[in-house]
Structure 1
């Protein structure tokens, strides 16, 4: 009976972690894929694929390691896509960049020093790049409010009330409010059963150097620094040794195979991992792996709903989906900005990284995310070798 109780608690924790994580950030995934050129069908396919990949990965690694290993799609990576310029080669070039990121994950799994080098990137610069990218998304709810307050105000009001009462469910509640708004417009009445059936749409990857540098490399870096490395730390805080190399190999192989269907990136879960690996999954750490399994099964089930969710999002009045995505990222933006500017010795470099990333600056077809790291690294090098009192 005691073991069954623990299993039940772990199952519940895994289901909640998956539901909250999925509903809190699916809008970011759809927005990101559409920004880099995906059609509505291609974006829905991507949401389906990454849901299934992270679900199967969670189930596989939790079962084999007997640890609560949970995978997630890269929300910072999706935010990066949402702030990126559409490649000249269109969505096919973006898909080629997804393959580049996947191969870098695989290379990191095979070449141990590469992961060490990634960790040498100053955390202040990585966080500043992410915060700069997120800023452009987090202001969208307020722009949308000015453009159409009747559609956006109910979503923001719902989010604000739930932020006060139950912060974990604030973003899912905002999406529910968005569905109510869409229903009130009558747009859902035009949908047919075919629109709700999950479908995989394939786009052949196109090799494009500019897209690889502007999208593929930053996608790899932001996922490693904002998801995989913190994910290892979260599991370690509960006494588990994360199978990072195995997860990276899985992300690389599956990412390269499914990029054409929209599988842009999966990785170790970071924030949501605490629900499956911590006390909410039961008092016995050796039984919490069950939460990872239930988390994975739930993600696969949610993936089946991807087409329906994407179809509802398409029917939304302009700005509503962007509002849901924006409020979902406010917490991540605040944490990234605070971490970026925390170190006074690197604050100038982080500030430059932040403003370049937020500026939308592009050069040679390469977007702001890449150039922000270049600019911040240059300023950091200059400030580190600034002449001291003796030289002056």
Structure 2
């Protein structure tokens, strides 16, 4: 094998592009929340960059290790809902007590993996409902492509058109071509603000955990619940909706354990990704689904770079046009949204429950601090249970099916012969 062929085998352009888009989307959609959460705990600039470093290392270890172990695109990320929760609940909490809550949450996730209870729950969820959940989670990104055309037409429209053309001519590189066109369009329209970029490397800052039972209950337990319901649950749905039957329990055990180990450096939540994972599990990542795990491996590499650069990444994100991020994410998820909706509506008996799951998830409703993915699945399961009870009652009221009437026996010349003889 030539060196060029070896490089293409290890780093297929489509897989690398999918990984880059996934990391860009993940970082731009949540980095500000991470910084806000760290500031709420009283973190200074060094501690904030340490948070990014710890999260980047933890995500890189789990992305690369788990994807290579199971040969599946297992993408992990930090908990975006968890960061939002921390931004509002860490006010007045010391950094040591906050770190204690991070360790406690990670330990609970690891225990849920070791005991297998979360995997048993996921095994009972029908595939159409999991697919509908995935479609609802991704709907905002799909519509974001078109909503950006209102205020940033010069960026979003070229991305869309280039993607459509490349899908017909060079389907393997469609998203990469769309990304390149979007970058050129945003540069020509003056959308970048490079003066905001600051170059600096992150350094680890250790904080000894303090276990205050009040903080563990008020921060650690909600962080665990939000992470499991709003991140790990849809993350498993993404994998299964894409046809990857990955053992859930070991994956959760490792993500929880890595979080607990890196928590003293600021890793508040490491979990399965949902929206960004869908970019790496789709056809745009690689035409051969058995090779799409390479996209997750490269996502881990890029997340490591994000962690090492720390504050530099945050300044770069503020310089990047938001319309470009949403447009590229939209085209990158079109095929995945199409497949999830087709799977969700494939079974007539569960179609109503799938539609309810899709709509409730897409609504974005948040109750008791838990995101719409959990409530959408709960609404779908409730619909499915009520519908199945109704079907059983109608079947019972109809009574047993009538016995089949035997077909009349054909009359043959042999059977008529005795009659003529007796006559």
For 1:24, the equivalent position in structure 2 comes to 21
Determine the C-alpha separation between the residues in 2 that align with 1:245 and 1:119. 11
Instruction: Name the count of aligned residue pairs.
Output: 363
* Aligned equivalent of 2:75, options 72, 76, 87: 72
> Does structure 2 conserve the Cα–Cα contact (< 8 Å) formed by 1:101 and 1:217?
no
* Aligned equivalent of 2:195, options 182, 190, 199: 190
For 1:217, the equivalent position in structure 2 comes to 229
> Does structure 1 conserve the Cα–Cα contact (< 8 Å) formed by 2:127 and 2:240?
no
For 1:391, the equivalent position in structure 2 comes to 397
Determine the C-alpha separation between the residues in 1 that align with 2:99 and 2:332. 25
- Flag the 1:360–1:263 CA change in 2: closer, same or farther, 3 A: closer
For 1:12, the equivalent position in structure 2 comes to 8
For 2:372, the equivalent position in structure 1 comes to 368
- Flag the 1:221–1:277 CA change in 2: closer, same or farther, 3 A: same
1:355 aligns with 2:359: yes
- Flag the 1:367–1:347 CA change in 2: closer, same or farther, 3 A: same
For 1:334, the equivalent position in structure 2 comes to 338
What aligned pairs does 1:127-276 form with structure 2 within 5 A after superposition? Answer: 127-184=131-188, 185=190, 187-192=192-197, 195-199=198-202, 207=219, 212-227=224-239, 233=245, 246-258=250-262, 260-261=266-267, 264-266=270-272, 271=281
- The offset of 1:73, in angstroms, is 2.6
> Does structure 2 conserve the Cα–Cα contact (< 8 Å) formed by 1:255 and 1:264?
yes
- Flag the 1:372–1:200 CA change in 2: closer, same or farther, 3 A: farther
- The offset of 1:305, in angstroms, is 6.6
Determine the C-alpha separation between the residues in 1 that align with 2:31 and 2:296. 31
Residue aligned with 1:265, SS: strand
What aligned pairs does 1:272-287 form with structure 2 within 5 A after superposition? Answer: none
- The offset of 1:112, in angstroms, is 3.8
Determine the C-alpha separation between the residues in 2 that align with 1:97 and 1:9. 48
> Does structure 1 conserve the Cα–Cα contact (< 8 Å) formed by 2:118 and 2:249?
no
- The offset of 1:336, in angstroms, is 1.8
Which protein shows a greater Rg?
2
Deviation digits for residues 106-138 of structure 1 (CA, Å, limit 9, x no counterpart):
234412454233222222222212211211221
Determine the C-alpha separation between the residues in 1 that align with 2:396 and 2:165. 57
For 2:45, the equivalent position in structure 1 comes to none
For 1:122, the equivalent position in structure 2 comes to 126
Determine the C-alpha separation between the residues in 2 that align with 1:211 and 1:62. 25
Determine the C-alpha separation between the residues in 2 that align with 1:100 and 1:335. 38
Determine the C-alpha separation between the residues in 2 that align with 1:150 and 1:296. 29
- The offset of 1:330, in angstroms, is 2.1
- Flag the 1:155–1:360 CA change in 2: closer, same or farther, 3 A: same
Determine the C-alpha separation between the residues in 2 that align with 1:373 and 1:297. 29
- Flag the 1:272–1:364 CA change in 2: closer, same or farther, 3 A: closer
- Flag the 1:123–1:167 CA change in 2: closer, same or farther, 3 A: same
Determine the C-alpha separation between the residues in 2 that align with 1:155 and 1:365. 35
* Aligned equivalent of 1:90, options 71, 88, 92: 88
- The offset of 1:226, in angstroms, is 2.2
Deviation digits for residues 79-102 of structure 1 (CA, Å, limit 9, x no counterpart):
xx58x9954853859999987875
Unaligned runs of 5+ in 1: 234-241, 282-288
- The offset of 1:181, in angstroms, is 3.7
- Flag the 1:277–1:181 CA change in 2: closer, same or farther, 3 A: closer
TM-score, normalised by the number of residues in structure 2: 0.66
- The offset of 1:142, in angstroms, is 0.9
* Aligned equivalent of 1:378, options 372, 379, 382: 382
Determine the C-alpha separation between the residues in 2 that align with 1:212 and 1:190. 39
RMSD: 4.8
